[in-house]
Structure 1
Amino acid sequence: MSAVGRLRTPASGSPADATGVPPRAIGFWGGLSANVLNMIGIGPFVTIPLALSALAGPSVLLGWIAGALLCLCDGLVWAELGSTIPESGGPYHYLREAYGRDKAGRLFGFLYLWQTLLTAPLSIGSAAVGFAQYVGFLIPSLGDTGRALIAAGLCLVNTAVLYRRVGQIQRLSVFVSAIVVAACAWIVFSGITHFDMAVARGFFETKMPSSHGFWLGLGAVSLIAVYDYGGYNNVCMLGGEVRNPRRTIPMAVLVSIPLVAVLYMGLNLSILGVLPWAQAAHSKAVVADFMQAIHGHTGGTLAVLLILLASWGSALVVLLGYSRVPYAAAADGQFFPVFARLHPRGGFPTVSLLFVGATSAAACFLSLEHLIATLMVTQILFQYIAQCFAVVALRRRRAAPDVFRMPLYPLPLVISVVGWLYLVATAETSSIVAAVVAVFAGTLLFLWQARRTQTWPFLPR
């Protein structure tokens, strides 16, 4: 194992409070449920209308397929990295080890931590804002301020729920995941059994060009799809708390992607076979309108309640994963020491959890569209492309014999890098500018800190 072993996570599932590290309590089903809950969440229930507006006609399905293929290639990257370095805070350690802990890896690790402080609240906040939008279906009089307050309140409630031993959260995560998958299956089944070929023909015969043009529209839909599929890496954030991580992490990542992809394609086709595509494109609660068209007001209300459960679970597990990143950096001596504090009995990060929960509540006062676009472009530029090259660097070193190796190497890496660059090139200019400014600011902050502490690249001669 690499030098990341400094965090010294125990191999057993028993509490390890005496050593100051959290226990390995998450098995395959816990890891899979953490991924699935993160992936399903509120994403497709609020972004299907956005995708239909970005690329009219059946071409929109190409965007969903392209997004799934890109995520599968990127999932192979995460699976290999998570198996090679199974530590809590995942990408922070991947980048530090790949680019040199005392060299450029210090910069990459710092930039990942820096972008996490920005994107973690955006990711958690987007799930909470989506939750509040569907609450608005039940309470039509709820204004923008009311929805923002509900979203912020959800983040604070989840922080309180996660303030306990991770094994208890695993059981809750598995339970909620089972309900969420069953709810999605019910929604898809309802669409299949009420599929109207005349309505679907109107969608597939649509020739109206997108206002963005085909390639820009395809990029916009693919970016939305990647956001919706995102979350297959959540188990990697909890690597130090996973049992048998070299096998469990790759399995959880690679099983979750096709499982959710099938659900999403079924959901899209089901909706487009019941609702006219123009109505779906302008809906504020498309799944609620869809179920109401089939089962009446009662069916629409029940669908909303299930979606609220899914979005709550998504915000919960995303907060769980991201709360471990500042802790991992602090435990490694690269962040404020207070963030390395663990609960004396539960063995979970306390200050890190409270900080991420509070900043996520503040992010809920931004719009959902701005949250999604800025989140994805920032993560691509800061992290995803760098991780592809990290696989190459780590493969040159001696690895444990049971480490997962991606098939068809290096083809998945090439597809991932090209795909990420395409999504950035077709994104909104404001999102690109925000991400570039964040990278520049983070680099300047790192250089200032390195010069002050006389560390790389300002080592004394």
Structure 2
Amino acid sequence: MVNVLNLRRTLHSPAPPERPVSAGFSRRIGLFQATAINMSQMCGIGPFVTIPLMVAAFGGPQAVIGWIAGALLALVDGLVWAELGASLPGAGGTYVYLREAFQYRTGRLMPFLFVWTAMLFIPLIMSTGVQGLVQYLTYLWPSMTTMQGDVVGVAVLALVVLLLWRKVENIGRLTVALWGVMIVSVGAVILASFTDFHPSMAFEWPAHAVELTHGQFWIGFAAGLTIGVYDYLGYNTASYLGAEIKNPGRTMPRAIILSILAIMTIYLLMQIGVLGVVHWQDMLDPDNVASKSVAAAVLEHTWGKAAADTVTGLILITAFASVYAGLLGGSRVPYDAARDGMFFRAFGRLHPRHGFPVLGLLTMGAVTAAGFLIARHLGNSAAHPPLTVLITLLTTVMVIVQALAQIAAVTVLRRRQPTLARPYRMWLYPVPSVVAAIGWLVIYGWADRANPGIHPIEWSIAWVALGGAAYLVWAKLERAWPFGEKEIREEFLTAQQPPAAEPPA
């Protein structure tokens, strides 16, 4: 999955700095549209490039465990998003939730850190799209060298930034087109795989495939869970559009659950279908086309080279469009925060003619390029392919300031704002929160052991620590906490209060 628009939609005309949470938005997105929005962001190029990684993590066709485990983590974490999104239905998602929950003790620190980490994990998500594009291009260009792949990737990013260096409209049409191309590609792979399906290849697991008492199994499980949850990311997209969701208390949780179940079905069909056509050992061989372009391998085996070339072309289009849309949305994140007085003011300036955030676009583009190049040269072995490096780094960065912080935010808000309207309350609270926290901690705690030599935990801690230092510099300039008073706004509590009665004449 490349989560192309897992961000607040910010293509409306700029609003004044001190705007109400829902100003400028109307609630017109229903359940069907919200579910489609989530699904379109969950299933991009991801499954085309991560199936071999999942097989490598588990060491065989038991890789289906990873897709199921990823879906379960997405479901329990989705209930966290559902309660927060239903009770705080504004535009901004995590940014809003952390601002409301943690303003009492740490002022603007948590929303600032979220934006800071988003400026790393959003480009890393886009880097996976660029790497996926280069990977599938090798099927059409088998002689491509590592240096040529680097040049192609950077050139693609330069083209994306150039195309975004103008006023961008009709993003909805691009999203629909991306969704359509992705559906055709996924449908073709699933259909082709089941026209020449061999159950013995898909369902005969190696001896000792699941040994719960063996440490190596849990290392593989943690790696597979990381890949799985990466592919499900996007189940929260509608939460970022909370100000535009009809009846968010009912729509938000239903859209999250329905989209996860639907995408899980697609992923399982695709994984099982591929395993029934391509020998799983071929996916572990770096010199075999199945390890880099598994969809092309399936199509070539079943329908011939022409079909494989065609679907590969569609996958390349999907990858390019996902990077384009992702950088479009990502560049707006620091702009919105700066406009709200929660981030460096330089990010709040727009291009004088075309009205796009210049510094946000350039920064996101540069970090995406750096992530792509660093991962290709750090992950230059069969044990650590570039995509695995990127996915591990972006998920470990997300765990601290987004996943675990939001889980804590549910409990903090229940205590700090007990009278806040909660049209949806988490089922079996706090069990889903606890299970989600355990899942994210498994991903985080095993990250170094699953990726020796990459040090994702250390990198994530260093980035958050650097963000804390940057916050202190910013807070000193803005005279915000701890160098000034904390501003307690409680906007959603205030909004639900009835207007005061006018005194009699």
Shorter-chain TM-score above 0.5:
yes
Aligned partners of 2:229, 2:59: CA distance in 1, in Å?
19
Match in the other structure for 2:216:
213
* Shift, 1:380, TM fit: 0.6
What code does the residue aligned with 1:57 have?
G
Match in the other structure for 1:435:
460
Match in the other structure for 2:4:
none
- Which residue of 51, 56, 65 corresponds with 1:53? 56
Aligned partners of 1:349, 1:23: CA distance in 2, in Å?
19
Match in the other structure for 1:64:
67
**Is residue 41–residue 313 contact of structure 1 (8 Å, CA) maintained in 2?**
no
Is 2:476 the partner of 1:457? no
**Does the C-alpha gap of structure 1 residues 30 and 366 become closer, same or farther in structure 2, counting only changes over 3 Å?**
farther
Aligned partners of 1:98, 1:402: CA distance in 2, in Å?
14
- Which residue of 229, 232, 236 corresponds with 2:232? 229
Is 2:391 the partner of 1:372? yes
- Which residue of 292, 312, 315 corresponds with 2:300? 292
**Does the C-alpha gap of structure 1 residues 235 and 163 become closer, same or farther in structure 2, counting only changes over 3 Å?**
farther
Match in the other structure for 2:277:
274
**Is residue 37–residue 313 contact of structure 1 (8 Å, CA) maintained in 2?**
no
**Is residue 344–residue 474 contact of structure 2 (8 Å, CA) maintained in 1?**
no
**Does the C-alpha gap of structure 1 residues 16 and 300 become closer, same or farther in structure 2, counting only changes over 3 Å?**
closer
Once the two structures are superposed, residues 240-288 of structure 1 have per-residue CA deviations (whole angstroms, 9 ceiling, x without a partner) of: 5x35372655454333222211111111100111111101233221121
- Which residue of 264, 269, 291 corresponds with 2:267? 264
Give % identity.
36
Question: Any gaps of 5 or more consecutive residues in structure 2?
Answer: 1-8, 286-290, 376-385, 450-454, 487-505
What code does the residue aligned with 1:113 have?
V
**Is residue 103–residue 456 contact of structure 1 (8 Å, CA) maintained in 2?**
no
Match in the other structure for 1:189:
191
Once the two structures are superposed, residues 167-213 of structure 1 have per-residue CA deviations (whole angstroms, 9 ceiling, x without a partner) of: 61112212321331232122112212211134335x42454689971
Question: Any gaps of 5 or more consecutive residues in structure 1?
Answer: 1-8
Aligned partners of 1:79, 1:165: CA distance in 2, in Å?
33
Query: For residues 10-409 of structure 1, what are the structure 2 equivalents within 5 Å?
Result: 23-24=24-25, 27-28=29-30, 31-100=34-103, 103-161=105-163, 168-201=170-203, 203-207=204-208, 213-239=216-242, 242-244=244-246, 246=248, 249-282=252-285, 283-341=291-349, 349=357, 351-367=359-375, 368=386, 369-396=388-415, 397=417, 401=421, 403-409=423-429
**Is residue 237–residue 324 contact of structure 1 (8 Å, CA) maintained in 2?**
no
Aligned partners of 1:334, 1:359: CA distance in 2, in Å?
21
**Does the C-alpha gap of structure 1 residues 176 and 454 become closer, same or farther in structure 2, counting only changes over 3 Å?**
closer
What code does the residue aligned with 2:202 have?
A
* Shift, 1:85, TM fit: 2.9
**Does the C-alpha gap of structure 1 residues 346 and 23 become closer, same or farther in structure 2, counting only changes over 3 Å?**
farther
Once the two structures are superposed, residues 72-98 of structure 1 have per-residue CA deviations (whole angstroms, 9 ceiling, x without a partner) of: 111222233233334444212211110
Aligned partners of 1:410, 1:342: CA distance in 2, in Å?
43
Match in the other structure for 2:430:
410
Aligned partners of 1:347, 1:460: CA distance in 2, in Å?
33
User: Match of 2:143, SS?
Assistant: coil
Aligned partners of 2:168, 2:92: CA distance in 1, in Å?
15
**Does the C-alpha gap of structure 1 residues 298 and 212 become closer, same or farther in structure 2, counting only changes over 3 Å?**
farther
Is 2:441 the partner of 1:421? yes
**Does the C-alpha gap of structure 1 residues 208 and 281 become closer, same or farther in structure 2, counting only changes over 3 Å?**
same
* Shift, 1:460, TM fit: 7.9
* Shift, 1:65, TM fit: 0.7
**Is residue 132–residue 147 contact of structure 1 (8 Å, CA) maintained in 2?**
yes
Aligned partners of 1:239, 1:159: CA distance in 2, in Å?
28
User: Match of 2:403, SS?
Assistant: helix
Q: Number of paired residues?
A: 447
**Does the C-alpha gap of structure 1 residues 224 and 72 become closer, same or farther in structure 2, counting only changes over 3 Å?**
same
CA radius of gyration, larger in: 2
User: Match of 1:41, SS?
Assistant: coil
Once the two structures are superposed, residues 8-42 of structure 1 have per-residue CA deviations (whole angstroms, 9 ceiling, x without a partner) of: x99xx9x6567588954883566545433332222
**Is residue 67–residue 225 contact of structure 2 (8 Å, CA) maintained in 1?**
yes
Of the structure 1 ranges 84-93 and 168-177, higher mean CA displacement relative to structure 2 is found in: 84-93
* Larger helix proportion of the pair: 1
Of the structure 1 ranges 445-454 and 19-28, higher mean CA displacement relative to structure 2 is found in: 19-28
* Shift, 1:326, TM fit: 0.5
Aligned partners of 1:222, 1:188: CA distance in 2, in Å?
23
Aligned partners of 1:289, 1:23: CA distance in 2, in Å?
48
Of the structure 1 ranges 166-175 and 20-29, higher mean CA displacement relative to structure 2 is found in: 20-29
* Shift, 1:343, TM fit: 6.9
What code does the residue aligned with 1:378 have?
V
User: Match of 2:342, SS?
Assistant: coil
Aligned partners of 1:231, 1:152: CA distance in 2, in Å?
25
**Does the C-alpha gap of structure 1 residues 321 and 233 become closer, same or farther in structure 2, counting only changes over 3 Å?**
farther
User: Match of 1:428, SS?
Assistant: helix
**Does the C-alpha gap of structure 1 residues 19 and 403 become closer, same or farther in structure 2, counting only changes over 3 Å?**
farther
* Shift, 1:440, TM fit: 2.1
* TM-score normalised by structure 2 residue count: 0.79
Aligned partners of 1:349, 1:253: CA distance in 2, in Å?
30
Aligned partners of 1:152, 1:16: CA distance in 2, in Å?
31
What RMSD in Å do the two structures reach over aligned CA positions? 3.2
**Does the C-alpha gap of structure 1 residues 110 and 60 become closer, same or farther in structure 2, counting only changes over 3 Å?**
same
* Shift, 1:218, TM fit: 0.8
Is 2:462 the partner of 1:444? no
User: Match of 1:258, SS?
Assistant: helix
